Structure 1
């Protein structure tokens, strides 16, 4: 590999390329509506360019790539039966490119560089929101909420949460030059401040769960391998018991009250009921990916009017599974459920094995964040969103890591003629 190509596609040599690329991507995900189509084209360019230079980045180990691309491929296929084929075709291509970019990034970006680029990008995002200092009236909650430069307080809280995760990972799990510590500290403090000011219950709860997952993954990996599975099983059993007990004791209602929410989840339960009724009309294949929220559809117009969405855009069913059910039916729902299962299974599988503890903690936190947010948001089933990009990144990284660990373990097994002590420890792709 020549030096010039390595400076773009080699994770050990391409910091100068991938860190700005990740920072740019974060800004585009946050403010593409503000900055226009050119920002989206810039995002496409920085990740498709490495693939064009070296297609083997993905083609060398295509199994996991093909598996993960089944979801965007099915979204694209739904154009064939979509009620709004032009909307489905456009959105599915955009989603496919976003997801594909995440796969390319996973193969050429180290976890530390992802965290560094994410920290820089989030700092700029939060700074731009602070400069705009916007408030909006929430017709459902009946009060004003700080939303910065976003159209929603939930989006502000979302990026504030990511800012905290990225920056704290640089301090806690990755080796970071001291010269960067002031910037990291400013990002972490800004993220905490913006998260609190956003007053977003979804963001606060998902942040708590994400950091719990980070600490739990780190704790489990301190244990001997034979203790890890038992610890995880006991923890999951305990969590399930606590959830069931809280249902009977009214803890859920108390939690909602603590965040100033009612039992309708500020109108989400009504929205979900409407979605179930609409989805039941074409339950197997759905209306077509992104085909529901189009101008002129009576049900969409009625929901926009009910929830005071005067722009008649940027709205959704506030649940990744329900949104998918309406758009692509039970078949598409099966694909997204499989993706959610992978977000649980792949980090656990990696934690049970061997690898870089810091990177596994980092990815476990991000996986937990997207799983929790899927209950109230559609982060990883829509185009040009940080969730679609990072979920692809996380899963391919974990697939590659587990594959490398298995391969190293098979090489380290003693044979009749020789042993391979030098291969007894798997370094994996995280080192």
Structure 2
């Protein structure tokens, strides 16, 4: 079958490729443990195909790629000093591929198609969890909650949050066709139900932060360009002042109490203290990327036992920066902090441009979501995760020249063609 190259790599014409590719990615990120290695290979092949066909996707404008790939490269470089070189090399390769897939997607997938594919994928993830999952006791949070088909209720809450965010964006930001809006409304309802059933404080707080950020940035872009700088300055200073006042006046403890959590964050502060002591043994370069959580390491075995992780896998330090410090030391931590700064500053800078588009609302909401979650999760510093994929996607889009938003997230029938002058054989 002859398929136009544009139908694979042109964001304005590749809906029939882009949407299923994003759907597949979401399913793999959620359940690759359940579906096995074949699902991961399918994910790799899906995003390698457009790059093999059109290497210019990344090579035509290499500067943002070279900047963003520094961190995955350093993760891989840590193999040289890792005391678990095999585990480090394997994880670093997986992380680089996942990160690279996000970079490729950023160049060939429109924001509307990303939202549509993510909504469908996340909705299928939640449906699968309803069909296959159940309740479990969470030794971190100390209660029973619905976890779906995941090993943790926080992962279910995470995907529920993403479902809500992408679904509502299709209704209010991208103004999709009516049938898509109807499905998005049902999907958002399912996401709210799963978020409530998961009883995940991290997911609920990050969702509130994301929608608050969308509301704020939405107000900013409605202002005349000459007033936006002052508005952004006021928002940043006001946010920092409110956060500092909350900490000094006990607001943080009040929030934890409202969600039924104690000041130890149900064991996380102990975990962080242990991590800082372990990281202090090799503070500059760390133990090696993903080298700590390996069988036979006494400290890892002790923590698995203390937190009842009988499978001795899938556990982490519940903080992206601390996890990074243990693995790749202060040098790697500097790179991740730099990425977090970009994740916050670049959307604000984009809001100051007179040519910004509605898609900025979704980008800023996702950015805040991942930044807030980084306090208690490791979403974008681990391989085969939706966070790694989406963060690299967001940063690439923000570093590239602004592109107009494609209002429709699904093409009309007349837009679907399969043969043109530039074709490839599949």
Same fold per superposition (TM over 0.5): yes
TM range (shorter): over 0.9
**In the alignment, which residue of structure 2 is the partner of 1:97?**
97
**In the alignment, which residue of structure 1 is the partner of 2:365?**
365
Give per-residue Cα distances to partners, 1:385-428, cap 9 Å, x unaligned.
00000000001011113xx5xxxxxxxxxxxxxxxxxxxxxxx3
**In the alignment, which residue of structure 2 is the partner of 1:13?**
13
Q: Does 1:210 align with 2:210?
A: yes
Shift of 1:355: 3.2
Please report the RMSD computed on the Cα atoms of aligned residues, expressed in angstroms. 1.1
Task: Give the TM-score, by structure 1 length.
Answer: 0.92
Gaps of 5+ in 1: 405-427
2:112–2:405 Cα contact (<8 Å) kept:
no
Q: What is the aligned length? A: 405
Give per-residue Cα distances to partners, 1:148-184, cap 9 Å, x unaligned.
1110000000000000000000001003111222211
Higher relative contact order (Cα pairs below 8 Å, separated by 6+ residues): 2
**In the alignment, which residue of structure 2 is the partner of 1:415?**
none
Q: Does 1:229 align with 2:229?
A: yes
**Higher mean C-alpha displacement, 374-383 vs 182-191:** 182-191
Q: Does 1:119 align with 2:112?
A: no
**In the alignment, which residue of structure 2 is the partner of 1:301?**
301
**In the alignment, which residue of structure 2 is the partner of 1:76?**
76
**In the alignment, which residue of structure 2 is the partner of 1:321?**
321
2:169–2:362 Cα contact (<8 Å) kept:
yes
CA distance in 2, matches of 1:133, 1:332: 36
1:18–1:109 Cα contact (<8 Å) kept:
yes
Q: Does 1:107 align with 2:137?
A: no
Give per-residue Cα distances to partners, 1:358-388, cap 9 Å, x unaligned.
2100100000000000110000000000000
Q: 5 Å matches for 1:68-217?
A: 68-217=68-217
Q: Does 1:241 align with 2:241?
A: yes
Runs of 4+ displaced beyond 3 Å: none
CA distance in 2, matches of 1:299, 1:207: 34
Shift of 1:19: 0.1
**In the alignment, which residue of structure 1 is the partner of 2:388?**
388
1:355–1:430 Cα contact (<8 Å) kept:
no
Shift of 1:213: 1.1
User: Secondary structure of 1:147's partner?
Assistant: strand
Shift of 1:3: 6.3
**In the alignment, which residue of structure 1 is the partner of 2:424?**
none
Shift of 1:236: 1.5
Give per-residue Cα distances to partners, 1:178-208, cap 9 Å, x unaligned.
1222211111000000001100000000000
CA distance in 2, matches of 1:214, 1:73: 33
User: Secondary structure of 2:4's partner?
Assistant: helix
Task: Give the TM-score, by structure 2 length.
Answer: 0.93
Gaps of 5+ in 2: 407-426
**In the alignment, which residue of structure 2 is the partner of 1:277?**
277
